[in-house]
Structure 1
Amino acid sequence: MQSTFDFVIVGAGSAGCVLANRLSEDGRFRVLLLEAGARDWLPWIHLPIGYGKTMFHRQVNWQFHTEPEPELGQRRIYWPRGKVLGGSSSINGLLSIRGHRDDYEHWHRLGNPGWSWDDVRPFFIRLENNVRGASAFHGDQGPLSISDVPQHHELMDAIIGGANELGMATNADFNGPQQDGVGYFQLTTRKGLRCSTAVAYLRPARGRSNLHISTHAQATRILFAGQRAIGVEYLLKGQPHQARVRRELIIAAGAVQSPQLLQVSGIGDAAHLARIGVPLLQHRPEVGRNLQDHLQIRLMYKVSKPITTNDDLRSLWGKARIALQWLLWRRGPLAIGINQGALFARVQPDATRPDVQFHFGTLSADLAGAEPHPWSGTTFSVCQLRPLSRGSILARSASALDAPAIFPNYLSAEADRQVAIAAVRLARRLARSKALQPYLSEEYRPGPGYGDSDEALLAFVRDYGATIFHPVGTCRMGSDPAAVVDSRLRVRGIQGLRVIDASIMPTIPSGNTHIPTVMIGERSADFLLQDHKGNA
């Protein structure tokens, strides 16, 4: 079956939902949104603490794994990615972080006009409906609800006190004038419920006659006439379909699957495409390269008081109590999720801005999102904000249905190994602070088996380091001929084709990647509407 639209968007994730809303907003254009997963019916999606349930749920999660990682003891790292309306915004940790303003200044210096901090800040403001109201840094008219943690926690307050002891100031707004410091996150929640991009952007647009949303629709190949994209082939509940485009095809399948779809469609490294039996359309070797991710290092501590989420979830009474908190006041663990607070700090002597980020949770488990420990516990998760290590994502075969091969190459750069060691040392210093002495009774991980030498700390990182779910960069934006897309996110050398998602980031932002990806959707919608103005 075949149909024709002005725009076809492949992927209903953090950027795709934004594009579907903005491009269909004024009724001029007929838009098709394709999503390989289902509608966001699963109740666990909408309850913030349900993050622990969706982390391993095949219905809403692609459940990727990396190839064996050389610097992590040949371990294959689990990579959850959203397979549902809203994409990873429907299963993520709900944290509202933009990154540092210098991240975007760096993008601009790399030859990307339109992406400096002054260029992107209006779109960060535009996307927000922040409970704190409008200001120079925030908006209160946007689709995406941003809320404060509804209830401060005794343990998190002690962590803030411990960081203050180490000379780190309290920061009430990591998206405000400065990023350094310790404090509570803001969350992408609305009245105690998750506000994914499917909730924020698709729900208001769903009734539009010019917007068509197809779920269970997995793109398998881009269709071309010469060097112009004219449509996409996809499977709808297993049956082959085609959608043709009058204007542009937009790939918004994420940093893992956007490069894979380009590769199986003939855009990529010629030698690699020959190996997997894909006819070459255009030799573009950087497709799938430049992969970056934040390596998560999780230190865990036993807590001497029964005040953690582990305790809430360990008994029927505890579960009933937190359920009642949520039902009556939309407060408590059910309304927050996993992580409550953050610390942005500098561990390199020459750092001019934060180079590590901590996520603090009043919960502990052997794997992120897994069953909590049977004792009171807390997790200090720390990651390097701007790693130098680079990896790749390569289509494993000519079929888009086969999971791609993922090679993050964590810790392949010596500088990243040194930052990881310093980050663990800082976490241990924080745990030994006076403010935390009444709370932390034992270091569970790393534990006494790992000493304080560089070698011991690096061994711990290699044994337990894992993703914090921030892959970016695999369809890099740039002005140089090797870049995959230009600064308006058009695929170089191809007409009528753009990539719009986290894969276009030339370098990873200094923080969580969801909000920057929503901004990319907003910024790019503006480009598209400008480019097609007067051509309705």
Structure 2
Amino acid sequence: MFAPLSGTNVLAVLLLCGTTFAARLPSSAFAVPPGDATYDYVVVGGGTAGLAVAARLASSGASVGVVEAGGAYELDNGNQSIVPGYAFSQPALAPVEVFPPRPLVDWSLVSQPQTGAAGRKVHYAAGKTLGGTSALNTLAYNRGTKGSYQKWATLVGSSAYTWDNFLKYFVKSSELTPPDFAKRNTPNATFTYDTSVWCTGKNCGPLQVSYSNWVDPSHTWFAAGLKAIGLNTSTIGHNSGILQGGAYTTETIDPSDPWFGTATRSSSESSYLRWAIANTQLMVHYRTIATKILFTSGKATGVSVATEGYSYTLTAKKEVILSAGTFHSPQLLMVSGIGPSAKLSSLGIPVISNLVGVGQNLQDQIFFSVQNGMSTPSSPSILSDPAQEPAALQQYLTKAAGPYSSAGGYIAFEKLPASSRTAFSARTNSLLNALPADVPEIEYLAGSFAGTGAGVVTIGDLSASILNPFSRGNVTISSADATVPPLVDMGWLTDPADAEVAVAALKRLRQAWAAPAMAAVKVGPEVKPGGAVQTDAQILQWIRENAIQIWHACGTNAMGSSAAAGAVVGPTAKVFGVAGLRVVDASVLPFALPGHPQATIYALAEKIADDILAGR
């Protein structure tokens, strides 16, 4: 756990404070509940995609109302969300069944027992705040592969999702700040990247993306260890449609935030919403829960909402856009009469559209790690040391640099080598061979914790994530009441192919740790899983007992060409069987894309906003 900011906390600022806005009083962007209201568009969910869609629609001159169950994370989660250095240690991301509650920013969802993961229940963090999960995630930003977007385009029958056509939305959504190698101050961690796939300078998108102003020393050794087993450093980075080898990550960090004066998280709230408040008439209904989508003759006409127990109606003259996330979007569809008719009827919910795919197809990229003692310092070891933390704090506050300014570090992607595939069953090999040729199977992530013991400064944590899970879970409901939490079954490791890939990936982690390049800093025996875990059966059991989520759940309202094939929305995110309703969030991804999804979610929001404004 990182040390606190020694009482010198970065000031939590209300959205309505400051002098940035001139054309409109910022306070006028927040509705005073309760009270019926009418808009052209009602967006349910002020998260990653919701605020991006809302801002673009409002920029056209349309009236837009946003419904968000939470408030402002700057106040409700403070430095845990704002300061990048806390990204991996914040309590909201605790994956265990009994976790430190953060009810102001997290929905506190707990899964059903995972039959493929030792019967464990896990807490699955989901943002309940303006900014949604972009206010809680670990800030990594990368794009999928060209082949993965071509697969998406083919599945849904729309060339708009091919890399060449989708790239413009990545560019439109964001602005890249080039790396500051002087602040990074690590000669063996310099790199090159592809500048042609970024907007820099004027007229860029509101989301801020950058390379952090700090390099964790332990991560440079992991880069060497991964290179030793064949994962060379990429010369173009991980944002050009190619995921091959290692790279220092781009992150959603504003390296010089004008509000806070230092490097801070860039979320959909701090980017799109603040821009929209200054430039449009967008209205936010915060701390307000959507309880039901309303229909008239098969057309969505509004949303029933409640603020602190007071119920009222927001009417949509044109469309309702649902952006409540992978777990709550299918829940709200079902309680509103859209979903599997058998389930809805059993709960007394009148069926408006019988869509069997609602809540199905849940996919989640799990990960697990191999840990070992290291003699090198790391961000956590520095920030947990009373003798070093004050200097790190001053470095952050005065120079926007140092350990507090950084969330991530080094990640790498690969297709498992032939030597790792020899033990795979014919079925597993067939499933993997059916993936696009450029889609990696494993992502490796460098991490660290403060260490103790003789010569141990850091506990090095090298993790592997399964990028193409074949296991499927689901989201369903037990009540027609939207305030009753949905039932979530992640389905982890229920497909034997995932189990085989996981075992092979853990062996690759051990190979990297055993590389001669790591010998100079490795201290003592393996900490986890430990020397007693050796056979494939032992490795698999350990993974079942210890694997956790990387918070990439998707697919529960899958996009496709027809409802008959199990899809919920079409290529422009319109819900099948009704009018005036779209879903725009990670739930519509038809499959888990390789890497971290937030870049794709922002681009998807930009694309669907274009569709709406063009009448598609």
Q: Give the Cα–Cα distance (whole angstroms) in 1 for the partners of residues 483 and 85 of structure 2.
A: 31
Residue 498 (structure 1) aligned with residue 582 (structure 2): yes
The 10-residue stretch of structure 1 (120-129 or 201-210) with the greater mean CA deviation from structure 2: 201-210
Q: Give the Cα–Cα distance (whole angstroms) in 1 for the partners of residues 370 and 516 of structure 2.
A: 18
Identity of aligned residues (%): 29
Residue 450 (structure 1) aligned with residue 521 (structure 2): no
Q: Give the Cα–Cα distance (whole angstroms) in 1 for the partners of residues 248 and 212 of structure 2.
A: 7
Residue 124 (structure 1) aligned with residue 170 (structure 2): yes
Q: Give the Cα–Cα distance (whole angstroms) in 1 for the partners of residues 575 and 64 of structure 2.
A: 20
User: 1:58 deviation in Å?
Assistant: 2.2
User: 1:65 deviation in Å?
Assistant: 1.2
Map of 1:531 onto structure 2: 615
Return the match for 1:160 from 195, 219, 223. 223
Secondary structure of 1:72's aligned partner: coil
* Structure 1 portions without partners, runs of 5+: 366-373
Q: Give the Cα–Cα distance (whole angstroms) in 1 for the partners of residues 393 and 157 of structure 2.
A: 48
The 10-residue stretch of structure 1 (49-58 or 464-473) with the greater mean CA deviation from structure 2: 49-58
User: 1:108 deviation in Å?
Assistant: 1.1
Return the match for 2:520 from 438, 443, 451. 438
User: 1:299 deviation in Å?
Assistant: 2.3
Secondary structure of 1:41's aligned partner: helix
Q: Give the Cα–Cα distance (whole angstroms) in 1 for the partners of residues 410 and 325 of structure 2.
A: 27
Q: Deviation digits for residues 433-476 of structure 1, max 9, x if unmatched?
A: 1111122223211112311x211110111010111101110111
User: 1:207 deviation in Å?
Assistant: 3.5
User: 1:399 deviation in Å?
Assistant: 0.9
The runs of 4+ residues in structure 1 deviating greater than 3 Å are: 132-135, 348-353
The 10-residue stretch of structure 1 (194-203 or 268-277) with the greater mean CA deviation from structure 2: 268-277
Residue 363 (structure 1) aligned with residue 456 (structure 2): no
Q: Give the Cα–Cα distance (whole angstroms) in 1 for the partners of residues 306 and 157 of structure 2.
A: 35
Return the match for 1:60 from 77, 87, 105. 105
Secondary structure of 1:15's aligned partner: helix
Return the match for 1:37 from 66, 70, 83. 70
Return the match for 1:86 from 131, 137, 142. 131
Map of 2:36 onto structure 1: 2
Is 2:214–2:403's contact at 8 Å kept on the other side of the alignment?
no
Map of 2:197 onto structure 1: 137
Residue 259 (structure 1) aligned with residue 330 (structure 2): yes
Is 1:356–1:383's contact at 8 Å kept on the other side of the alignment?
yes
User: 1:282 deviation in Å?
Assistant: 1.7
Map of 2:315 onto structure 1: 244
User: 1:364 deviation in Å?
Assistant: 6.4
Return the match for 2:497 from 405, 415, 419. 415
Is 1:348–1:419's contact at 8 Å kept on the other side of the alignment?
no
Map of 1:14 onto structure 2: 48
Q: Give the Cα–Cα distance (whole angstroms) in 1 for the partners of residues 212 and 275 of structure 2.
A: 25
User: 1:154 deviation in Å?
Assistant: 2.7
Alpha carbons of structure 1 residues 459 and 516: separation in structure 2 relative to 1, 3 Å: same
What is the identity, as a one-letter code, of the residue corresponding to 2:60? Answer: D
User: 1:480 deviation in Å?
Assistant: 2.3
What is the identity, as a one-letter code, of the residue corresponding to 2:131? Answer: G
Q: Give the Cα–Cα distance (whole angstroms) in 2 for the partners of residues 98 and 237 of structure 1.
A: 39
* Structure 2 portions without partners, runs of 5+: 1-34, 94-99, 180-193, 256-262, 419-431
What is the identity, as a one-letter code, of the residue corresponding to 2:69? Answer: A
Is 1:36–1:217's contact at 8 Å kept on the other side of the alignment?
yes
What is the identity, as a one-letter code, of the residue corresponding to 1:10? Answer: V
The 10-residue stretch of structure 1 (274-283 or 414-423) with the greater mean CA deviation from structure 2: 274-283
The 10-residue stretch of structure 1 (404-413 or 162-171) with the greater mean CA deviation from structure 2: 162-171
User: 1:304 deviation in Å?
Assistant: 2.3
Residue 297 (structure 1) aligned with residue 334 (structure 2): no
Q: How many residues align?
A: 520
Secondary structure of 2:161's aligned partner: coil
Map of 1:368 onto structure 2: none
**What RMSD, in angstroms, separates the aligned Cα atoms of the two structures?**
1.8
Q: Deviation digits for residues 105-142 of structure 1, max 9, x if unmatched?
A: 00111133021112211111111201239943222222
User: 1:375 deviation in Å?
Assistant: 5.8
Map of 2:151 onto structure 1: 106
Map of 2:83 onto structure 1: 47
Q: Give the Cα–Cα distance (whole angstroms) in 2 for the partners of residues 416 and 291 of structure 1.
A: 15
Is 1:300–1:364's contact at 8 Å kept on the other side of the alignment?
no
Map of 2:29 onto structure 1: none
Return the match for 2:342 from 268, 271, 274. 271
TM-score by length of 2: 0.82
The 10-residue stretch of structure 1 (222-231 or 356-365) with the greater mean CA deviation from structure 2: 356-365
Map of 1:405 onto structure 2: 487
What is the identity, as a one-letter code, of the residue corresponding to 2:197? Answer: F
TM-score by length of 1: 0.93
Q: Give the Cα–Cα distance (whole angstroms) in 2 for the partners of residues 472 and 485 of structure 1.
A: 14
Q: Deviation digits for residues 226-259 of structure 1, max 9, x if unmatched?
A: 2111100011122101100110000000111000
Q: Give the Cα–Cα distance (whole angstroms) in 1 for the partners of residues 230 and 358 of structure 2.
A: 43
